[in-house]
Amino acid sequence: MVSTTEWLITIIALLAILTFDFTWAIKNRNKETSMREVLMWTAFYVSLAIGFGISLGGWVDSQAQQEFFAGWLTEYSLSFDNLFVFVIILTKLKISKERQQLALLIGIVIALVLRIIAISVGAAVIARFEAVFFVFGAFLLYTAIQLYAESATHGEDEKESGIIRALQERGVKPFTIALIALGMTDLLFALDSIPAIFGLTQNVYIVITANVFALMGLRQLYFLIGGLMERLIHIGRGLSVVLGFIGVKLIFHACHAVGWHEIAGIHIPEITITQSLSVIVLCIGTATVTSLIATRKKV
């Protein structure tokens, strides 16, 4: 159990890091982001997340440590699809590379606020109605099937194009449209990511920190991922398997929550966080490696 003091220390530390990052971004908002800067910030945030996750084993417990890494890896991986839509939005609106820095900055602030609200609502619903995991599980299974069967990014692109066209017809400035579209995009993706992480842990502290660490490196990852997106052709399938697995895990959990420990004489298994983390690492790792091998001739 995380104490109030530990919550305060975590919040202050994260706000300090975010403030420094945002101050840097605002100061350099009219400059094109260099690859050296991107790599440094990405390495910093990934190392920070890994260091934080390792430390949890010392001052909380190993369960919290595994839950954090499972949640962070899932949220960080799901952000790849999010970033692809960001690339489409900013490219279509012809936002200069210099101004993309500020657009992403504001978009991430909006994302953080929306995620915290969604997590708070989700935690309250789960506390009062644990059977909601049936709904979460079914939704994730549906999302997994859709993601596997068709290009998820293509579907989101059509939604965003409709929004963009409507705003353009009303004379809204491209930069303002970009901010609105980025916020709407993250809200859509939160519908997948929030149930997914609640399927791995119901510890609100872990849910929030995993989301914050995943979002903190998103701006830098955007500039790094531009050239890699064309090569990660299997990442969608890898994510669909992860979401499908978590969906099944949620349904199993809901069955136990309502007292259904077996159906037709068949025992319903309880999937541990260690098993979940193993599946997530295996799926994302395999999708990444096979993508890079399949597209190696494009380099």
State the chain's mean pLDDT as an integer: 79
* Separation of alpha carbons 159 and 167, rounded Å: 13
**Is the alpha carbon torsion for 188, 145, 280, 250 positive or negative?**
positive
Give me the domain span that covers residue 23.
4-298
Q: Which residue has the higher pLDDT, 159 or 124?
A: 124
Q: Hey, what amino acid is at 147? A: L
pLDDT of residue 12: 93
Q: How confident is the model at residue 4 (pLDDT cuts 50, 70, 90)?
A: confident
Neighbours of 241 (CB within 10 A): 19
Q: How confident is the model at residue 150 (pLDDT cuts 50, 70, 90)?
A: low
Eight-class DSSP state of 224: H
CA angle 251, 256, 262 (to 5 degrees): 95
User: Looking at the predicted structure, is the pLDDT value of residue 8 above 90?
Assistant: yes
Selection from 2, 181, 51 nearest residue 103 by Cα: 181
pLDDT of residue 35: 74
pLDDT of residue 156: 45
Range with the poorest average pLDDT among 77-81, 202-206, 214-218: 77-81
pLDDT of residue 227: 58
Range with the poorest average pLDDT among 62-66, 135-139, 256-260: 256-260
CB burial of residue 262 (10 Å; 0-12, 13-18, 19+): exposed
pLDDT of residue 157: 47
* Separation of alpha carbons 39 and 22, rounded Å: 17
Yes or no: say if 203 and 67 are a contact pair by the CB < 8 Å rule. yes
Yes or no: say if 210 and 273 are a contact pair by the CB < 8 Å rule. no
Q: How many domains does the chain have?
A: 1
Contacts of 141 (CB under 8 A, 6+ apart): 243, 244, 247, 248, 251
User: Looking at the predicted structure, is the pLDDT value of residue 233 above 70?
Assistant: yes
Contacts of 241 (CB under 8 A, 6+ apart): 144, 148, 279, 283
Half-sphere exposure of residue 58, counting CA atoms within 13 Å on the CB side? Answer: 5
pLDDT of residue 154: 46
Q: Which residue has the higher pLDDT, 227 or 285?
A: 285
What are the start-end ranges of the E strands in the chain? 262-263, 266-267
Share above pLDDT 70 across residues of the chain, in percent, rounded to a whole number: 85
Mean pLDDT of 31-59: 85
Yes or no: say if 65 and 138 are a contact pair by the CB < 8 Å rule. no
The pTM of this model reads 0.74
Eight-class DSSP state of 262: E
Q: How confident is the model at residue 92 (pLDDT cuts 50, 70, 90)?
A: confident
